[in-house]
A and B are shown apart, each in its own frame.
Chain A
Amino acid sequence: MEAVRALIRKKSKGLRLLGVPILGLSADLLIGAGCVAEVETSAVSLGEAGLAPRFTEAVEQGTIKVKDTTCPAVHAALQAAEKGVPFMPVGSIAGSDLLNRPDWKQEDEILRVTAIRPDFALFHARWADEAGNVWIGRRRELATAAHASRNCLVTFEEKQKGDMLEDELLAPGVISSIYVSAAAHAPRGAWPLGLPGVYGADDVHLSQYARAAKTREGFQRYLEEWVLTPRKSSSPA
């Protein structure tokens, strides 16, 4: 999330976002701030805080393009890319209007999805170490995204000494430095979302956001207060 706020401050434009397999607050902030041209995703939602208001309005007004997909197709398309093959089979989605896209083909109860090779994977992790490795634990979809992408940018909670790959207990949850382009220290960098096992989501802040972002003016005030003022954005209330 800290990287998302930085993207907004540097006034990024024309981003194309891929949800792995869904998008949430990060996408809503980037869309509301005018950074996004297109999203490919299975859904955009704020979870218990409800609909993602800036995404919803942008689609209804036609200011961003949406490529609708479904979760297992995103996972499979990234798995194809990490294996370096052009496509991957997925179980049937017969009857769905999602099939109306030229890069997918369904035959004999098998859906064939084209590989997706993102330019960047971007996420927040618990640890990075001195050897450049990153620990994501059981969030294996982050490893798949890192493997499939040309570059991988990570913010992390704490720095570990040494090399986590030398620890048999940590190693299965590690993304090797082979895949990591750059990592930056960002304590509480997932806020207002949570980091499992470290801190929970800030539910009060999330519902405040969901209310504020219902209008363009409310969203702009949120940006001023929590994103465009760097000091405040990284220090939760």
Chain B
Amino acid sequence: MGPYAPEELLACVIARLLAGARHAAIGASSPIPASGCFLRRISDPSFRVSLQQRRAHNPFTEGSRELFDLAGQGRIDVFFLGGAQIDGAANINLVRAEGRRFPGSFGAAYMYRAVPRVILFREEHSKRVLVPKVEFVSAAGDPQALLTGKALFSWQKDRRRFRLESFHSEDDIRASTGFEYDVSPSLKRTPAPSEEELQLIRTRVAPEIARDYPDFAKRVWGIN
């Protein structure tokens, strides 16, 4: 196993979470979820990926409302949401925290309810982000999972609590998480990307990502 970037590991985890999905849509500024989706599509060509803000080849012809209309009909089964804050009840906050203003809620309030498999994704894993209770609920719902730069949690809908499934950081997860959560009896280290996954990411996913996220592709893969 050669060295790999943290972004490459996260893309692999996302690709594995997408097993069985038919159609994922990706909102603004989400290069890692997009990388995971493109990787997944290599092993399942029937898996459709729609990027909301492409620089070219926009998948929609009814303007920016079409994404929400598709979701309302159940034609999208995976969507990614993040947050300035995420709490232990899976609420997300994209509006304001600790006196600071963030961009806003985008379509999150609606997509969280309309899309059956929402994956919460945030690279920063800290008590500042993962809080007991968000200051503003932009959106509420039942996610499939919460993935951070340090760990993967599943969501227990009946208990309304997260469960730690795997970790990919040596840091103390409990000490860097602001909310209470359960721990899977089969807690493990997140499997590293395989040689094959890494090769696919670098040769096939990276050039595609570079078209819509040039700064990200330059930073992670050195593509210009």
What does DSSP make chain B's interface, helix, strand, loop or mixed? loop
A218 at interface by CB-CB < 8 Å: no
For residues 28 through 58 of chain B, which have their beta carbon under 8 Å from a beta carbon of chain A?
28-29, 53, 55-56, 58
When each residue 78-110 of chain A gets 1 if its CB lies under 8 Å from chain B and 0 otherwise, what string results?
A: 010000000000111111111000000000000
For residues 62 through 101 of chain B, which have their beta carbon under 8 Å from a beta carbon of chain A?
62-66, 68, 71-72, 91, 94-96, 99-101
Please pick, from B63, B105, B136, B214, the residue contacting A140 in the complex, using a CB distance under 8 A: B63
Query: A194 — which chain B residues lie within 8 A by C-beta?
Result: 55
Asked if B106 contacts A43 (CB within 8 A), the reply is yes
Please pick, from B61, B62, B108, B216, the residue contacting A70 in the complex, using a CB distance under 8 A: B108
Stretch from A126-134, A150-158, A181-189, A196-204 that touches the partner? A196-204
| Docked pose: A200 CA to B212 CA in angstroms | 11
A224 at interface by CB-CB < 8 Å: no
Asked if B138 contacts A96 (CB within 8 A), the reply is yes
What does DSSP make chain A's interface, helix, strand, loop or mixed? mixed
Query: A55 — which chain B residues lie within 8 A by C-beta?
Result: 101
Most chain A C-beta atoms within 10 Å of own C-beta, residue among B66, B105, B138: B105
Asked if A72 contacts B140 (CB within 8 A), the reply is no
Asked if B65 contacts A141 (CB within 8 A), the reply is yes
B60 at interface by CB-CB < 8 Å: yes
| Docked pose: A18 CA to B94 CA in angstroms | 19
| Docked pose: A51 CA to B141 CA in angstroms | 26
Known pairs A42-B105, A51-B103; A140 contacts B65 (CB<8 A)? yes
B107 at interface by CB-CB < 8 Å: yes
A75 at interface by CB-CB < 8 Å: yes
Please pick, from B100, B105, B114, B213, the residue contacting A68 in the complex, using a CB distance under 8 A: B105
B152 at interface by CB-CB < 8 Å: no
Closest chain-A Cβ to B164's Cβ sits at a distance in Å of 24
Please pick, from B100, B110, B138, the residue contacting A91 in the complex, using a CB distance under 8 A: B110
Query: A93 — which chain B residues lie within 8 A by C-beta?
Result: 109-110, 113, 139
Q: Quick one: closest B residue to A109, CB to CB? A: B113
B222 at interface by CB-CB < 8 Å: no
A166 at interface by CB-CB < 8 Å: no
Asked if A43 contacts B137 (CB within 8 A), the reply is no
Asked if B105 contacts A94 (CB within 8 A), the reply is no
Q: Quick one: closest B residue to A51, CB to CB? A: B103
Known pairs A43-B94, A138-B61; A70 contacts B56 (CB<8 A)? no
B104 at interface by CB-CB < 8 Å: yes
Asked if A72 contacts B63 (CB within 8 A), the reply is no
Asked if B215 contacts A48 (CB within 8 A), the reply is yes
Query: A66 — which chain B residues lie within 8 A by C-beta?
Result: 101
Query: B66 — which chain A residues lie within 8 A by C-beta?
Result: 140
| Docked pose: A60 CA to B99 CA in angstroms | 7
Query: B61 — which chain A residues lie within 8 A by C-beta?
Result: 138, 140
For residues 14 through 38 of chain A, which have their beta carbon under 8 Å from a beta carbon of chain B?
20-22
Most chain A C-beta atoms within 10 Å of own C-beta, residue among B104, B106, B107, B108: B104
Query: B62 — which chain A residues lie within 8 A by C-beta?
Result: 138, 140
The 10 closest A-B pairs by CB, nearest first: A95-B140, A140-B63, A43-B104, A71-B107, A141-B63, A93-B109, A75-B65, A72-B68, A96-B109, A59-B101
6 additional A-B pairs beyond A70-B110, A93-B139, beta carbons within 8 Å, are: A43-B28, A45-B29, A60-B99, A91-B71, A94-B113, A95-B141
What are 18 inter-chain pairs, A to B, with CB distance below 8 A?
A20-B64, A42-B106, A43-B28, A43-B103, A48-B215, A56-B100, A60-B99, A60-B101, A66-B101, A69-B105, A72-B68, A91-B72, A94-B113, A96-B109, A138-B60, A138-B63, A141-B64, A194-B55
